[in-house]
Amino acid sequence: MEGISAIISSIATILWPLIVIVIVFAFRKSVEALIISARGRKFTVKIGEMELSMDEFSKQQGVMIKDLQTRVNELQRQIDPKGTETESNIPTTENTTFEEKRVEIRRAEDLPKAASKPEAKNIPLDIDDNISDILWVDDHPKNNAFIIDSLKESEVKVSTALSTEDALKHFKLGTFDCVISDTCRQEGKETPNCHAGFELSSLIRELDEDVPIYIYTDKVDEKMKMKAHTVGATAITSSPSELLKLLSD
């Protein structure tokens, strides 16, 4: 039973990044054509209120697609760890059959193919009802353009801050349901401060003991997880899908 629960949880986990990937792929054909015509010239793509260069757009799209592939692979390994599992040796429950789990994976793999259809655009994310106002701290907010725009399409207000000082001003003046922060920021210095996200978490925790704080960065190791826990952050992740899952719980 615990194994089935883990599989069901994993299936639920990949649904949120799939929605974002659907949005990304909704622009795929027009973007591919634009990239071909843009060789040797500089073009920008507007995502919500932000303008991205072609390189920035491609990088974000690549990160989200890679994350989706990783999540689908993890789910497949749980269902068929040796690649030889059959319906007879995988346990099922009355409500979750082996074939239903297989169907979920096929749907996940087929979603990108359907994403270019017009009806796939602007699909709302299933964000927790208690989250309607987010403070997002990053000195390069364009790095999160896809997710921020998807949140706004889901009627979630996202306020951006570029530094710890700016974030604290916003936080003291507003009523935010959660805070999302990167780790490294310039903070007005020549070299980036790669403890900025942890320092902000500690400062916000002094002001509010309950507000969820999510550190969203490009790499996470055990040392960073321990540091995040020490400063009072709710969670730390480098995965777009996991971040959206945290916002949906």
Query: For residue 91, what is the enclosing H or E element?
Result: none
Rounded distance, CA 56 to CA 78, Å? 34
| Mean pLDDT (whole number) for 83-103 | 45
Architecture of domain 133-248: 3-Layer(aba) Sandwich (3.40)
Top pLDDT among 90 and 170 is at: 170
Is 224 in contact with 236 (CB distance < 8 Å)?
Answer: yes
184 — pLDDT class (breaks 50, 70, 90): very high
Its sign, for the CA torsion 44, 45, 47, 48, is positive
Q: How far apart are the first and last CA of the chain?
A: 22
Is 19 in contact with 3 (CB distance < 8 Å)?
Answer: no
Q: Which region among 38-42, 80-84, 146-150 has the lowest average model confidence (pLDDT)?
A: 38-42
How many Cα atoms occupy the beta-carbon half-sphere of 55 within 13 Å? 3
Q: What is the pLDDT of residues 128-163, one digit of tens each?
A: 888 999 999 999 988 899 899 889 888 999 999 999
Rounded distance, CA 192 to CA 195, Å? 9
Is 65 in contact with 22 (CB distance < 8 Å)?
Answer: no
